[in-house]
């Protein structure tokens, strides 16, 4: 994936879409549906896979999510909010 | 296949590991654990939960034949690591024995129950999660440190609940796990010295896809996890106490790692409505 420019909520490349694409890559089955409400525990991704998900998002958006946010987030929406705050 | 220079370095590290183990870390299942302090009758529900945790860890440790066989097959031509696998197998063999002895001597389980449990465990087979020797070395570092953290928490919990024996059992076996984790870390350092790029890629592959061994093999694992949750490890603990210290040992953070290679994406079959 090449890095993309994302302006939160203002174009088709929303932050959520970046998470959805990352989830597809991490899941491998191509069947993983991700929404803001999705709980991380519901994804079938264990705690380590969430690190991989976030690594994909960080590379795609050229940002760094603080470790404490990585470990405390309970839902995709929570992670999306964190990323939106980090974007310029 | 590792280079001769690397294999020689592995052997020197193994000599250091083995000397320290022989001089400072050997313990005796029969004389170093205060079995005589166990009460005549098993404790109540709290003791039952501690016993269920001990039985679960005993089960995971009982896949020893598969762990040793897989490691020896992988490292057979490498003296340092093959001998480490053998020494490691001896040390790990005492872990399930100590937990099993606790369960029987405390009265929480009978000999017959533990025999049945052991046969049920060994009716399934553990397979190495990675086929590559370097990746399995990295897996070993993470798995041993995770196990150390779990046992340390169980020691603290059993101590706080006043169990007279389990804290000693967990202290002894956790100390072994930490020694194993340190040995694996030294192996990774040597790999990084020889092939930094490839080793970083393998670190990413293993770190992001890590799972504890045998979690999908033990019967009733989900219900056992529910009981263990009070002294288990969640995402935060795993990250802070396993991932971060492991990477820090190599002066790395997760941001220094590349992305793992993509998994193959299964085609989504079209459905007509």
The full DSSP string for A9-70 is TTSSS-HHHHHHHHHHHHH-SS-----TT-BGGGGT--HHHHHHHHHHHHHHHT----HHHH
B179: nearest Cα among B6, B64, B20, B10: B20
Chain A residue numbers with beta carbons less than 8 Å from the beta carbon of B244 are: 67
Q: Please compute the mean of the pLDDT values over residues A68-86 and round it to a whole number.
A: 89
Single pTM value for the model: 0.89
Query: Which of the residue ranges A23-27, A55-59, B58-62, B249-253 would you say has the lowest mean pLDDT?
Result: A23-27
Closest CB to B259: pick one of A27, A49, A59.
A59
List the alpha helices (DSSP H) in chain B: 4-20, 45-61, 64-75, 79-105, 111-122, 133-160, 166-194, 196-207, 221-228, 235-238, 244-248
Confidence of residue A69 (pLDDT cuts 50, 70, 90): confident
CA distance A10 to chain B (A): 28
pLDDT at B189 over 60: yes
Span A18-53, pLDDT tens digits: 999 888 888 766 667 788 998 887 776 566 778 889
Contact A86, A8 (CB under 8 A): no
pLDDT at A1 over 60: no
Structure-token pair, residue B251: 């002066």
Q: Which residue has the higher pLDDT, B181 or A69?
A: B181
Looking at residue A4, what is its pLDDT?
A: 56
Find the distance separating the first CA and the last CA of chain B, reported in whole Å: 53
CA distance B113 to chain A (A): 32
Contact A45, A10 (CB under 8 A): no
Cβ of A29 within 8 Å of Cβ of B265? The answer is yes
**Structural element, H or E, at residue A81:** helix A76-86
Confidence of residue A6 (pLDDT cuts 50, 70, 90): low
Chain A residue numbers with beta carbons less than 8 Å from the beta carbon of B262 are: 25
Confidence of residue A70 (pLDDT cuts 50, 70, 90): confident
Chain B residue numbers with beta carbons less than 8 Å from the beta carbon of A55 are: 204, 208, 254, 257, 259
Closest CB to A28: pick one of B204, B236, B266.
B266
Confidence of residue A8 (pLDDT cuts 50, 70, 90): very low
Mean pLDDT of chain B: 91
Closest CB to B210: pick one of A28, A48, A58.
A48
Span B216-260, pLDDT tens digits: 788 887 777 777 766 667 778 888 999 999 999 999 999 999 998
Looking at residue B188, what is its pLDDT?
A: 98
Span B2-13, pLDDT tens digits: 899 999 999 999
Contact B100, B114 (CB under 8 A): yes
Looking at residue B66, what is its pLDDT?
A: 95
Looking at residue B43, what is its pLDDT?
A: 72
The set of residues, in sequence order, having a beta carbon less than 8 Å from that of B193 and lying 6+ positions away, is none
Q: Please compute the mean of the pLDDT values over residues B36-44 and round it to a whole number.
A: 83
Interface test with A, best of B226, B235, B244, B253 (most A CBs within 10 A): B235
Looking at residue B214, what is its pLDDT?
A: 74
Looking at residue B227, what is its pLDDT?
A: 73
Residues of A with CB under 8 A from a CB of B: 24-31, 46-52, 55-56, 58-59, 64, 67, 70-72
Structure-token pair, residue B17: 């590991």
Rounded Cα distance, B146 and B194, in Å: 26
Looking at residue B11, what is its pLDDT?
A: 97
pLDDT at B75 over 70: yes
Chain B residue numbers with beta carbons less than 8 Å from the beta carbon of A51 are: 207-208, 239, 243, 254
Rounded Cα distance, A56 and A59, in Å: 5
Confidence of residue B186 (pLDDT cuts 50, 70, 90): very high
pLDDT at B64 over 70: yes
Confidence of residue A12 (pLDDT cuts 50, 70, 90): very low
Looking at residue B236, what is its pLDDT?
A: 81
Closest CB to B209: pick one of A24, A48, A70.
A48
Confidence of residue B178 (pLDDT cuts 50, 70, 90): very high
The set of residues, in sequence order, having a beta carbon less than 8 Å from that of A22 and lying 6+ positions away, is A53, A54, A56, A57, A60
Q: Please compute the mean of the pLDDT values over residues B143-157 and round it to a whole number.
A: 95
- B238 phi, psi to nearest 5 deg: -60, -45
pLDDT at B175 over 80: yes
């Amino acid at each position: 994936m090449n890095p993309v420019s994302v302006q939160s909520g203002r174009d088709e490349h929303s932050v959520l879409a970046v998470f959805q694409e990352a989830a597809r890559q991490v899941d491998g089955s191509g069947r993983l549906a991700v929404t803001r409400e999705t709980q991380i525990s519901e994804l079938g991704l264990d705690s380590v896979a969430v690190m991989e998900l976030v690594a994909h998002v960080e590379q795609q958006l050229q940002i760094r999510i603080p470790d404490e946010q990585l470990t405390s987030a309970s839902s995709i929406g929570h992670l999306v909010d964190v990323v939106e705050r980090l974007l310029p | 296949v590792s280079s001769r220079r690397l294999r020689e370095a592995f052997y020197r590290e193994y000599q250091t590991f083995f000397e320290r183990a022989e001089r400072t870390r050997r313990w005796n299942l029969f004389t170093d654990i205060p079995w005589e302090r166990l009460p005549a009758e098993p404790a109540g529900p709290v003791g039952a939960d501690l016993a269920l945790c001990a039985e679960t860890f005993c089960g995971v440790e009982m896949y020893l034949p598969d762990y040793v066989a897989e490691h020896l097959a992988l490292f057979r031509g490498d003296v340092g690591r093959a001998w480490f696998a053998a020494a490691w197998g001896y040390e790990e063999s005492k872990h399930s024995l100590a937990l099993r002895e606790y369960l029987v001597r405390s009265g929480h389980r009978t000999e017959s129950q533990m025999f049945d449990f052991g046969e049920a465990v060994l009716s399934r087979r553990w397979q190495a999660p990675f086929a590559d020797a370097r990746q399995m070395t990295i897996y070993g570092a993470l798995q041993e440190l995770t196990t150390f953290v779990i046992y340390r928490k169980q020691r603290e919990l059993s101590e706080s609940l006043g169990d007279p024996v389990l804290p000693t059992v967990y202290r002894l076996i956790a100390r072994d796990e930490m020694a194993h984790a340190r040995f694996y870390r030294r192996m990774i350092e040597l790999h990084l010295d020889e092939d930094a790029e490839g080793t970083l890629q393998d670190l990413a592959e293993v770190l992001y896809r890590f799972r504890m061994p045998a979690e999908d093999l033990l019967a009733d694992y989900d219900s056992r996890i529910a009981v263990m949750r009070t002294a288990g490890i969640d995402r935060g603990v795993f990250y802070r106490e396993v991932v971060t210290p492991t990477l820090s040992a190599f002066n790395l953070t997760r941001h220094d790692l590349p992305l793992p290679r993509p998994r193959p994406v299964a085609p989504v079959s079209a459905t007509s409505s």
